[in-house]
Structure 1
Amino acid sequence: MAATPMTSTALSATSRADALDAMTTGEPLDLLVVGGGVTGAGIVLDAASRGLRVGIVEAEDWASGTSQWSSKLVHGGLRYLYQLNFALVAEALKERGLLLTTLAPHLVKAQPFLWPLKLPVVERSYSAVGVGMYDALALVGAKGTKTVPLQKHYTRQGAQELFPDIRDDALTGAIRFYDARVDDARLVIDLVRTATGYGALAATRARVTSFAKDDTGRVVGAEVHDAEGDRDLTIRAHRVVAAAGVWTEDVEAMTGSDQGLKVLASKGIHIVVPKERIQGETGLFLRTEKSVLFVIPWERYWVIGTTDTPWEQDLRNPVATAEDIDYVLEQANSVLARPLTRDDIIGTYAGLRPLLQPHRGSGGSSTKVSREHTVAEVAPGLWSIAGGKLTTYRVMAEDAVDVALGEEAAEANPSVTEHTPLVGAAGFDAYRHQAPRIAAAYGWSAEQVEHLLSRYGAELPALLALVDADASLGEPLTTAPAYLRVEAAFAVTHEGALHLEDILMHRIRLHYETRDRGVSALDEIGSIAAPLLGWDDDDLAREQAAYRARVAGEAAAEQERTDAAASAARAQVAGEALPASS
């Protein structure tokens, strides 16, 4: 078992400043990680839990790229079975089991899905075999322990009792199977926080501008621009690993080498509709002409997606177009008895998936390869990792650290993350048993306490301490009562939020959960965050204006049919210049 973290897991403006100071003074790091998505966060935890002196820098906020806009599923990839990719599915299902039981049981929840069947005999037979294999591989990965229920078959009537809003002509029967869902951005933040507990140094808003090299041409660190302090810093490191997602080639180009990994950006969009708009007790798994579509239930809404289209515009700001939204509505309405309209949509979001391509250049080496991800040495001292998916972040991280260390050192100091719970996981079950007592003591409903436990797990005492110090923090947000005011404070004091958009997009997810993308909560959340971050009235006004401009830009993009027009509309309304490459 992994040791208990030795240092604080709280991320804050102070911890960020201290981390940058520590990374730029003293002995070089054993490893510097570039990129704060789920892969980079997994790498920094893997390295820190092995005892390495490791740092991580992210150009914006944690999970601000691909990792904040996924389908929010932890899954084996049922469709890969039909490609006979058993090893990949087995690996992902093992990771799903670890997240459900050991690593993050407070964040990752088992989720049933209904797979509608059109053909009564043939389709049910081969689908049953596929789902049966899925269940069997999950049991093998969990060493015989059942982490989710096994498949169950339904007649048309039985399926409609389970999902009343499914159309009569959409199925002859159905199979129910299980996967899991997760708040993707929160998972990333908790990975980084867990790593800091094992001594990792972590800083957001720290953009790598170039790589430092020694006289032999080996990469020995990075030049970093601190956006918060508007200063340039040098971080020395014996090894650097870039986990840059869709920015992989941009980061690799800083070395001056023509070697490395090549990725293509593929856009996926989701729509969000109120929970009461669709009557169903499970999610839906739909096979489409292009791929698959998920209809995923959360506590207060449904997430429906996704698309898969090339994106050639601004990588920082992918947006949903009118055409994207129409496509998702069309696919969902093909099975829903009460068709959805645009008026039903309370939120949308768009993200980019980095699709791994063959190597750039004639040289280079792929020192760790799977069907989904690759680690390659871009230049001496610098490795790059790309591909994969959220579910298998831990395997990707282990591979990256193993390769950077080298075979001999990796064997002598192996990964321990398979047994290392994230913050909030250890003691989670015990605090769930305390829920009635906590609810009574603080005047909260059972639902409110369950909400806190599902987000913070065994860290609940830290939130209670904030409420004990300021009783007003125990009240719900006025315009977003699903969240308590203490969650906005905790986002700043423990989860590293530096700006209003950090809170609204990655911690309290009002950006896609409400029709106004959280604008109505700006005053209240700002009043909580401002004193904690040392803002004056002008600072707060700038923060609010910046967020409003972002929201207005995204709303303008949704009225356009093409990516180019939508990207241009977003930039114009938000008052931003498009990158030259766009």
Structure 2
Amino acid sequence: MNRTASLDKLKSESFDICIIGAGASGAGCALDAVLRGYKVAIIDKKDFASETSSRSTKLIHGGVRYLEQAFKKLDFAQLKQVRHGLEERHIVLKNAPHLARPLALMTPVNSWLEGLYFKIGLQLYDTFATNDTLPKSKWLNKSEVMAKIPTLDSKKLHSGVLYYDGQLDDARYCLALVQSASEAGAVVANYVDVSGFQKDVAGKILGVNVSDTQTGNAFTIHAKLVINCTGPFSDKVRLMANSGLPERLRPSKGVHVMLPKETLNSEYAMLIPKTSDGRVVFAIPFEGATMIGTTDTECDDIQSEPTLNQKEKQYLADTLNPYLATQIDISQLRSGFGGLRPLLSADPSKSTKSLTRDHEIELDETSGLVSLLGGKWTTYRLMAKDTIDQADEIFAKSNVCITADHILAGGENYKLDSWKELAQKYDLTQEVAVHLVKKYGSRAERICKLTVDEPLLKEKLSEHYPYIKAEVVYAVRDEMAVTPRDFLARRIRFEITDWDETLNSLPVVTTLMARELGWNPEERERQADNYAREIGKFISDAE
């Protein structure tokens, strides 16, 4: 993926479809559309997956909470959402095995009756999960639960119900979708901002007026059809195309915190079924830390990046503490992140917690804009299929969707144990080799090859983590990383796991990026300062 070449094509060529927004839904649409034979462009105001799609709970699931609500309230929309999620779960796992894998989740219970309730519920959950090979749920006794999560409070524990969902690295999964679309022929570019639309005399969109935010250069992308996949920002694009449209989105904010791995000291995740506001909260091992989330609060300000505050930190600690033998010390917080959910609502009186995560495809007859509204990570492929089915209808075509069987970039011929060969061939530690294979899949050797002529690139960015310098170079050359945050927050997940070590690695990262991108010393310092300020806001808001 070469950004300069992509920008040249965006300026000089015409497209069948231009997709605005390169998160999960936009990237999924781009891959589906290009595989159906369309000439596709996809752009994003910031980086790929820079908003909602990199800030999820990292779960591939149907939604246990949705299933409970469906039966309690006879809400068939919730039931439909569960079914869709579980139908898609095995596809998400299969198509990128290096980035998505099964995850065992424990639900601790305090009584026999409570255990029976959750066992029945999770058995129902299992029945919706067709076509996959994940193990079925089990009701375990206290000793079995404690053997799996030894930090639980055994005095309060009666038993536990174990079930399985999937886990993914959301930012890199989205990048794999973008890479796959690019390799299939789509033209992709980040940091391209939309300022308006070019229309014909009847008001139909003919092109997208944009600017390259890195240079300020403005131009128009000419396309027969424009698809809006901007998640919680969809109303802004919709109203830009047609100011007469009603607003449809009710964004809500959710935050997660990262604590040391020793908080659970387990490879098993935990579902906390009882919270003060009626949600469920998860405690999940991720990238060498324990991630706890999420919250759900109304969010009126979607222009400012969501951060986490002391109240949200305390809520998550207070939710997990009753289950632990040793209480969480919130000062142990390593990092955290906030995100926005693109919830759909036709009823302003409903709270965001009660809104379904299902999706809707909107065709504005006046402007011709197609908008993909709502949805969640697990169903990204189904959302994209429905959207490109709509495009087929507009173009009077009947193409077949083939994304269910399309292995994503890095998943081709993937073998987890290939780390052994890489470690031996390139003199890498097991920790580093396993990390590379889990992040880059069958393409991990591309990073290793960079170290042959430049052995210093094998050096780690931090002694406490497996990330190496060669990844910075590869991210710039092959993954369109433009800023330090692209690399630190999304190409690797350093930012969301450890703020202090991320900042410690910043000088090395910016020096390597400066070499690759031709930054002078002043630009390198500006990039470092900008990133330090961004992270500084997260840290100060969380204190």
Contact 1:277 1:344 in 2 (8 A): no
- Please state if 1:460 is matched with 2:444: yes
Contact 2:104 2:269 in 1 (8 A): yes
Q: Tell me: CA distance 1:52–1:260, structure 2 relative to 1, closer, same or farther (3 Å).
A: farther
- Please state if 1:226 is matched with 2:212: yes
Q: What is the match of residue 372 of structure 1? A: 358
Which of the numbers 251, 268, 281 marks the counterpart of 1:293? 281
Contact 1:473 1:486 in 2 (8 A): yes
For 1:180 and 1:534, locate their aligned partners in 2 and report how far apart those are by CA, in whole Å: 40
Deviations 1:209-261 (A, max 9, x none): 00111111111121001111211110111100001111111111112332255
Which of the numbers 114, 119, 141 marks the counterpart of 2:111? 119
Contact 1:517 1:551 in 2 (8 A): no
Q: What is the match of residue 543 of structure 1? A: 527
Deviations 1:505-561 (A, max 9, x none): 1112221221426111011111221111111111100000101111222222223xx
Q: Which runs of 5+ in 1 are unaligned?
A: 1-10, 361-369, 560-582
Q: What is the match of residue 293 of structure 2? A: 305
Alignment of 1:170-185 (within 5 A): 170-185=156-171
C-alpha displacement of 1:50: 1.0
Q: What is the match of residue 125 of structure 2? A: 134
Which of the numbers 344, 368, 371 marks the counterpart of 1:381? 368
Q: What is the match of residue 5 of structure 2? A: 18
Contact 1:220 1:381 in 2 (8 A): no
Q: What is the match of residue 431 of structure 2? A: 447
- Please state if 1:31 is matched with 2:24: no
- Please state if 1:104 is matched with 2:88: no
Q: What is the match of residue 149 of structure 1? A: 135
Q: What is the match of residue 237 of structure 2? A: 251
Contact 2:198 2:205 in 1 (8 A): yes
For 2:26 and 2:540, locate their aligned partners in 1 and report how far apart those are by CA, in whole Å: 32
Q: What is the match of residue 569 of structure 1? A: none
Q: Tell me: CA distance 1:21–1:305, structure 2 relative to 1, closer, same or farther (3 Å).
A: same
Contact 1:488 1:508 in 2 (8 A): no
Contact 2:207 2:221 in 1 (8 A): yes
Q: Tell me: CA distance 1:359–1:228, structure 2 relative to 1, closer, same or farther (3 Å).
A: farther
Q: Tell me: CA distance 1:299–1:384, structure 2 relative to 1, closer, same or farther (3 Å).
A: closer
Q: What is the match of residue 85 of structure 2? A: 92
Contact 2:242 2:367 in 1 (8 A): no
Q: Tell me: CA distance 1:219–1:348, structure 2 relative to 1, closer, same or farther (3 Å).
A: same
- Please state if 1:340 is matched with 2:328: yes
For 1:303 and 1:357, locate their aligned partners in 2 and report how far apart those are by CA, in whole Å: 29
Equivalent residues, number = 526
C-alpha displacement of 1:371: 6.6
Q: Which SS does the other structure have where 1:547 is aligned?
A: helix
Q: Tell me: CA distance 1:435–1:497, structure 2 relative to 1, closer, same or farther (3 Å).
A: same
C-alpha displacement of 1:24: 2.3
Q: Matched residues, percent identical?
A: 31
Q: What is the match of residue 487 of structure 2? A: 503
Aligned-residue CA RMSD in angstroms?
Answer: 1.9
TM-score by length of 2: 0.93
For 1:474 and 1:311, locate their aligned partners in 2 and report how far apart those are by CA, in whole Å: 43
Contact 1:65 1:316 in 2 (8 A): no
Q: Which runs of 5+ in 2 are unaligned?
A: 72-77, 349-355
Deviating more after overlay: 393-402 vs 254-263: 254-263
Q: Which SS does the other structure have where 1:30 is aligned?
A: strand
Deviating more after overlay: 472-481 vs 92-101: 472-481
Contact 2:461 2:505 in 1 (8 A): yes
Q: What is the match of residue 473 of structure 1? A: 457
Q: Tell me: CA distance 1:461–1:168, structure 2 relative to 1, closer, same or farther (3 Å).
A: closer
Contact 2:151 2:263 in 1 (8 A): no
For 2:125 and 2:508, locate their aligned partners in 1 and report how far apart those are by CA, in whole Å: 46
C-alpha displacement of 1:407: 7.0
Q: Which SS does the other structure have where 1:132 is aligned?
A: helix
TM-score by length of 1: 0.87
What is the letter of the counterpart of residue 392 of structure 1? T
What is the letter of the counterpart of residue 49 of structure 1? L
Contact 1:261 1:384 in 2 (8 A): no
Q: What is the match of residue 393 of structure 2? A: 406
Deviations 1:9-65 (A, max 9, x none): xx2xxx222212212223x21100001111111111111111110001100111111
- Please state if 1:330 is matched with 2:323: no
Deviations 1:374-407 (A, max 9, x none): 1111343211111110011000011111112217
Q: 4+ residue stretches of structure 1 with deviation over 4 A?
A: none
Q: What is the match of residue 523 of structure 1? A: 507
For 1:355 and 1:552, locate their aligned partners in 2 and report how far apart those are by CA, in whole Å: 29
Contact 2:344 2:357 in 1 (8 A): no
What is the letter of the counterpart of residue 105 of structure 2? F
Q: What is the match of residue 574 of structure 1? A: none
Which of the numbers 137, 143, 160 marks the counterpart of 2:146? 160
C-alpha displacement of 1:133: 2.2
For 2:500 and 2:432, locate their aligned partners in 1 and report how far apart those are by CA, in whole Å: 23
Contact 2:49 2:174 in 1 (8 A): yes
For 1:279 and 1:342, locate their aligned partners in 2 and report how far apart those are by CA, in whole Å: 17
Q: Which SS does the other structure have where 2:536 is aligned?
A: helix
